[in-house]
């Protein structure tokens, strides 16, 4: 059933009223605010059933991404469209990852298409990313585990006074080894290896499936990531299909959008159900915000534009692993941005949990918390 525009509340938050004037000229009623704080106040005060937010990424009182993330916490059912006076595919990626429903570059948007575009937006279901986050935040986790994880964020590891911290074998070892100095990457590596009684490179590597038809790109990825991942490469759709039909035991999958005459988006749709628990990253040269928004809404974890910076790609990949292992914090906290000592607290929790469940520790547990070990090639 088609949703009528008149039954919907439209709120436009932009630096200047260029976009709201276009709405008015088309006879579409909308509320207009020029500050992110006013928008948040409006959203927190009332939550209409059918609301579409237009958020200008050039507002001045707050960062637009901060506004979007805070709105998302008030009501996950809001449909937010990021409006941009230019075109920036990286902005589209960030918007989609933060839960925006769409991204419009209004310089290239004809007035005659606005009503038709709005009707399409209104009749689209809540995207898969939003439903996924609803599940993670409200249902999936036992409350005792949530409390334990939340407490870890505020823990302070006092190297000069180990009695201020919980007594675990791993953390006590690190504290003892760092009494008189700042914790560094080598200290972390040595502490982990001493606790596990084996070097990092002997740990089982997470499996990475690279679906890429350009051999030069596949080889570059393999060289860049081979210290941290067991890499399997598929150059064609048939090879990828054969591999995924045999096993889905991958920690992460990267897919190129152009696989000869085949689209990676089609391959993802084909295998989406059986790889639903595996983070998927699209790596492509296509500068298309429409494709970005579409794929992230369908469940792709991240999107990387070629040519890419190697260190940035490693961070994106290990961050995907981090979200897989610590899903409760997705959208709330970026664990990799914490200090070394805070991340050691998370690793201690992970080591204790694995010990209780008699699960082996592998490199994935460590890389998701300390991507620097791979960026600076300190695994070996």
Q: Which residues in the chain come in under a pLDDT of 50?
A: 1-3, 131, 134-146, 149-167
Question: Is-contact 283 256, C-beta < 8 A?
Answer: yes
CA gap 153, 320 in Å, rounded: 19
Residues 229 and 356 in one domain: yes
- Residues 193-202: contacts with CB under 8 Å, at least 24 apart: 195/169, 195/170, 195/351, 196/361, 199/380, 200/363, 200/366, 200/373, 200/379, 200/380, 201/227, 201/379, 201/380
Q: Determine the pLDDT at residue 202.
A: 93
Q: Determine the pLDDT at residue 306.
A: 85
Of 124, 143, 161, which residue constitutes the final position of a domain?
124
CA distances from 88 to 57, 84, 93, 139, 289 (A): 11, 8, 9, 35, 8
Residues 238 and 359 in one domain: yes
Residues 214 and 315 in one domain: yes
Of 97, 124, 151, which residue constitutes the final position of a domain?
124
Q: Determine the pLDDT at residue 233.
A: 94
Judged by DSSP in three states, 96 sits in helix
- Tell me if 298 is assigned to some domain: yes
Using one digit for the tens of pLDDT, what is the confidence trace for 135-169? 444 433 444 444 554 444 444 333 333 334 444 56
Question: Is-contact 126 104, C-beta < 8 A?
Answer: no
- Tell me if 146 is assigned to some domain: no
Residues 257 and 371 in one domain: yes
DSSP symbols for 157-201: --TT-GGGS---HHHHHHHHHTTTS---HHHHHHHHHHHHTS-GG
Supply 242's token pair.
């054969």
Residue 208's CATH number: 3.40.50.2300
Residues 93 and 231 in one domain: no
- Tell me if 153 is assigned to some domain: no
- Tell me if 274 is assigned to some domain: yes
- Tell me if 245 is assigned to some domain: yes
Region class of 320: left (phi > 0), else alpha (psi between -120 and 50), else beta: alpha
CA 90 to chain centre: 13
Residues 350 and 209 in one domain: yes
- Tell me if 164 is assigned to some domain: no
CA 57 to chain centre: 19
Of 101, 124, 147, which residue constitutes the final position of a domain?
124
Residues 105 and 216 in one domain: no
- Tell me if 238 is assigned to some domain: yes
The phi and psi torsions of 48 (rounded to 5 degrees) equal -60, 155
Structural domain span for residue 322: 202-375
Residues 109 and 207 in one domain: no
> What is the tally of structural domains in the chain?
2
> pTM of the entire structure?
0.73
Residues 213 and 338 in one domain: yes
Residues 114 and 213 in one domain: no
Residues 115 and 214 in one domain: no
- Tell me if 77 is assigned to some domain: yes
Residues 245 and 112 in one domain: no
Q: Determine the pLDDT at residue 250.
A: 94
Q: Which of 222, 173, 209 is nearest to 193 (CA)?
A: 173
């Amino acid at each position: 059933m088609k949703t009528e525009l008149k039954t919907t509340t439209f709120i436009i938050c932009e630096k200047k009223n260029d976009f709201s004037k276009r709405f008015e000229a088309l006879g579409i009623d909308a509320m207009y605010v020029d500050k992110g704080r006013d928008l948040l106040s409006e959203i927190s005060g009332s939550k209409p059933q059918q609301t579409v937010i237009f958020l200008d990424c050039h507002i001045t009182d707050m960062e637009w991404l901060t506004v979007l993330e805070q709105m998302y916490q008030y009501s996950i059912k809001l449909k937010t469209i990021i409006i941009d006076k230019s075109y920036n595919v990286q902005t589209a990626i960030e918007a989609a990852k933060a839960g925006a429903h769409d991204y419009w570059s209004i310089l290239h948007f004809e007035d005659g298409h606005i009503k038709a575009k709005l009707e399409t937006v209104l009749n689209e279901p809540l995207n898969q990313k939003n439903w996924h986050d609803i599940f993670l935040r409200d249902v999936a986790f036992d409350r005792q585990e949530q409390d334990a994880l939340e407490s870890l964020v505020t823990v302070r590891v006092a190297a000069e006074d180990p009695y201020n911290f919980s007594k675990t074998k791993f953390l006590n070892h690190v504290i003892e080894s760092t009494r008189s100095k700042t914790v560094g990457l080598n200290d972390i590596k040595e502490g982990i290896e001493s606790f596990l009684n084996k070097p990092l490179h002997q740990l089982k590597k997470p499996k990475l499936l690279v679906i890429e038809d350009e051999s030069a790109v596949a080889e570059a990825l393999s060289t860049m990531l081979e210290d941290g991942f067991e890499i399997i490469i598929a150059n064609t759709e048939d090879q990828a299909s054969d591999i995924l039909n045999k096993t889905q035991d991958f920690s992460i999958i990267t897919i190129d959008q152009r696989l000869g005459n085949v689209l990676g988006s089609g391959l993802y749709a084909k295998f989406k159900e059986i790889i639903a628990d595996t983070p998927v990253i699209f790596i492509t040269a296509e500068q298309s915000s429409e494709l970005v928004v579409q794929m992230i809404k369908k469940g792709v974890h991240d999107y990387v534009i070629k040519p890419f910076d190697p260190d940035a790609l490693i961070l994106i990949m290990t961050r995907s692993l981090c979200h897989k292992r610590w899903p409760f914090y997705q959208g709330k906290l970026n664990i990799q941005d914490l200090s070394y000592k805070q991340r050691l607290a998370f690793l201690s929790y992970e080591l204790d949990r694995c010990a209780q469940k008699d699960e082996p520790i592998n490199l994935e547990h460590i890389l998701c918390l300390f991507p620097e070990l791979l960026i600076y090639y300190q695994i070996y």
